[in-house]
Amino acid sequence: MGNTEFLKRCKQIVVDYHNSHADKTDKDGKITEDNVFVVWACKTLQNNKALLSTTVSDGMYYEITHNGDKGETYVDAYKKWENFVVK
């Protein structure tokens, strides 16, 4: 799978996930691909991986991996709980 096709597929996966899990009372409501952005992406051999987030302030981010050998795509959806510095 090419990088452009993979990233388009990732954005659609995130849109579908968000729209199926969002509360009907959420102020942000449904999103489109325009609300999804790629934080990081990589292609190594036949595999692709991307980290994505949305413009929705829900603290969610998504890690999507495509296994080119098996033709399978894996999705991890995470909630960011906090960000702090340790010295």
- The per-residue pLDDT for 26 is 67
- The per-residue pLDDT for 70 is 96
Instruction: Quickly list H helices, the chain.
Output: 3-21
| pTM of the predicted protein model | 0.88
Q: What is the pLDDT of residues 10-66, one digit of tens each?
A: 999 999 999 999 877 666 689 999 999 999 999 999 999 999 999 998 889 999 999
- Number of C-beta neighbours around residue 32 at 10 A: 10
